[in-house]
């Protein structure tokens, strides 16, 4: 059985989510062959999947939104990239379809969440499952203008899948497909928490540790701001943190998820996987407001419903007004189910059995 996952390279969140689900699938069916078709860096995929064996097919399947950093978007560059991708796709689909046929194995495609995965699935005559908290039509349509036609194109392709595994914290996805709602789709820590705390020289009080994480693109912060909070220790991947006495630089191959158990709070942008991982590890989330990306307000609203939180403006972030001395706001609703990855793996397995693939 071959699972061929077409994964968006828009940031690292799609890759983290898919990796968590494939890890759960590997636990159930270690003999299944896992292939990731994506432009995500191989080093990131190796870290995300850890001991799980996988193969990479380097392919760019979508554009998403081009960004200068974690909080900004570039619509004009995005439109240009969409046109370029459209010209490349026919040749890429033909090449990948030929490779898949040559494997001569039962095949199931998983899409997170490039619309063009539907074209590949049709080319090889294989079923397609979407793993998604939004589709690109929901991101493009509010931008109007030239994005409207792209939104319509995306929605048409999403409707050509066979099943939607609907992640939480989701935008509407009216794709007319059988739908399986999921709980949190976060991975699980693999490293020893006590040893990590010793290596990073962290205080014993988890509530005095703060993780700074802004996704794959990152965000430059003035490390001098850490001096405004001398009683807290800050962890992050930005090498500039080393210049602050209370800063700790994480190794490049260390997942933020590994240190969340050691932190009381996370300062981050609105991001699906970051929110899922933090909620799953009972970390308070200080979310920095983001404009120009339709998912951001939906994530902020979901955070207020289901997670302990504070909301920061971008000015607050850059000025160091991080509200760490303030109590977290309690969610207005209960926590989300923590079993989304295993539920997704079970749904994929059941679908494969129904289609006679196993």
Give yes or no for residue 72 having a pLDDT over 80: no
Residues 181 and 205 in one domain: no
Give yes or no for residue 352 having a pLDDT over 60: yes
> How many domains is the chain partitioned into structurally?
2
Give yes or no for residue 218 having a pLDDT over 80: no
pLDDT-derived band of residue 214, with 50, 70 and 90 as boundaries? confident
Residue 110 in any domain: the answer is yes
Give mean pLDDT, residues 314-331.
Answer: 97
Biggest CA–CA distance in the chain, Å, is 60
In sequence order, the 6+-apart residues with CB closer than 8 A to the CB of 354 are none
Mean pLDDT of the chain: 95
Residues 310 and 208 in one domain: yes
3-state secondary structure of 322: coil
For helices 117-124 and 75-103, angle between their N-to-C axes, nearest 10 degrees: 20
**Which pLDDT value is given to residue 11?**
80
**Which pLDDT value is given to residue 156?**
99
**Which pLDDT value is given to residue 292?**
72
53, 25 in Cβ contact below 8 A?
Answer: no
**Which pLDDT value is given to residue 68?**
62
The alpha carbon torsion through 94, 99, 102, 104 (nearest 10 deg) reads -100
Chain CA centroid to CA 263, Å: 20
Give yes or no for residue 70 having a pLDDT over 60: no
Residues 62 and 168 in one domain: yes
CATH of residue 81's domain is: 3.40.50.2000
* Distance between CA atoms of residues 170 and 1, nearest Å: 30
Residues 67 and 198 in one domain: no
Residue 324 in any domain: the answer is no
Residues 147 and 16 in one domain: yes
Burial label for 303, CB within 10 Å (0-12, 13-18, 19+), is buried
Residues 179 and 198 in one domain: no
**Which pLDDT value is given to residue 206?**
96
Residues 177 and 290 in one domain: no
Residues 175 and 277 in one domain: no
Lowest mean pLDDT among 1-10, 200-209, 217-226, 325-334: 217-226
pLDDT greater at residue 214 or residue 350: 350
Give mean pLDDT, residues 280-285.
Answer: 97
Q: Which domain covers residue 104, as residue numbers?
A: 2-185+339-354
The edge-to-edge listing of strands for the beta sheet with 163-166 is 55-58, 33-38, 2-7, 107-112, 128-132, 163-166, 179-181
CA Rg value for the chain:
20
pLDDT-derived band of residue 294, with 50, 70 and 90 as boundaries? confident
- Helices assigned H by DSSP within 5-49: 13-28, 42-49
3-state secondary structure of 60: coil
Residues 32 and 65 in one domain: yes
Residues 13 and 52 in one domain: yes
Give mean pLDDT, residues 239-243.
Answer: 95
Residues 204 and 117 in one domain: no
pTM: 0.95
Question: Which bin fits 102, alpha (ψ -120 to 50), beta or left (φ > 0)?
Answer: alpha
Beta-bridge partner residues of 181: 166
- b/e burial code for range 41-53 (CB count within 10 A of at least 16 → b): eeebbebbbeebe
Give yes or no for residue 274 having a pLDDT over 80: yes
Residue with the two structure tokens 């609703």: 333
pLDDT digits (tens, 9 = 90+) for 86-142: 999 999 999 999 999 999 999 999 999 999 999 999 999 999 999 999 999 999 999
Residues 163 and 240 in one domain: no
309, 337 in Cβ contact below 8 A?
Answer: no
Percent of the chain with pLDDT over 90: 91
């Amino acid at each position: 059985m071959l699972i061929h996952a077409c994964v968006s390279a828009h940031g690292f969140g799609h890759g983290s989510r898919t990796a968590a689900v494939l890890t759960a699938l590997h636990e159930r069916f270690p003999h299944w062959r896992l292939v990731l078709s994506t432009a995500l860096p191989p080093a990131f995929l190796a870290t995300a999947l850890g001991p799980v064996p996988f193969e990479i097919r380097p392919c760019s399947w979508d554009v998403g939104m081009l960004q200068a950093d974690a909080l900004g978007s570039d619509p004009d560059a995005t439109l240009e990239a969409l046109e370029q991708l459209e010209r490349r796709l026919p040749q890429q689909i033909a090449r990948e379809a030929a490779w898949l046929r040559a494997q001569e194995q039962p095949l199931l495609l998983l899409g997170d969440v490039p619309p063009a995965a539907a074209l590949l699935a049709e080319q090889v005559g294989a079923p397609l499952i979407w793993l998604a908290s939004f589709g690109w039509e929901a991101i493009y349509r509010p931008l109007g203008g030239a994005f409207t036609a792209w939104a319509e194109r995306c929605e048409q392709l999403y409707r050509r899948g066979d099943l939607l595994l609907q992640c939480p914290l989701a935008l509407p996805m009216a794709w007319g497909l059988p739908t399986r709602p999921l709980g949190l789709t976060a991975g699980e820590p693999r490293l020893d928490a006590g040893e990590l705390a010793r290596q990073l020289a962290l205080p014993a009080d988890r509530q005095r540790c703060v993780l700074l994480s802004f996704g794959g693109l990152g965000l430059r912060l003035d490390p001098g701001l850490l001096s405004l909070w001398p009683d807290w220790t800050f962890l992050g991947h930005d090498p500039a943190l080393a210049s602050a006495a209370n800063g700790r630089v994480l190794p490049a191959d260390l997942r933020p998820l590994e240190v969340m158990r050691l932190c009381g709070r996370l300062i981050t942008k609105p991001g699906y996987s970051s929110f899922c991982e933090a909620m799953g590890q009972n970390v308070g989330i200080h979310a920095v407001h983001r404009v120009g990306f339709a998912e951001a307000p939906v994530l902020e609203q979901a955070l207020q419903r289901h997670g302990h939180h504070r909301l920061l403006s971008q000015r607050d972030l850059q000025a160091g007004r991080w509200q760490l001395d303030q109590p977290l706001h309690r969610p207005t609703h209960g926590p989300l189910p923590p079993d989304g990855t295993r539920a997704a793996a079970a749904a994929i397995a059941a679908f494969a059995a129904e289609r006679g693939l196993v």
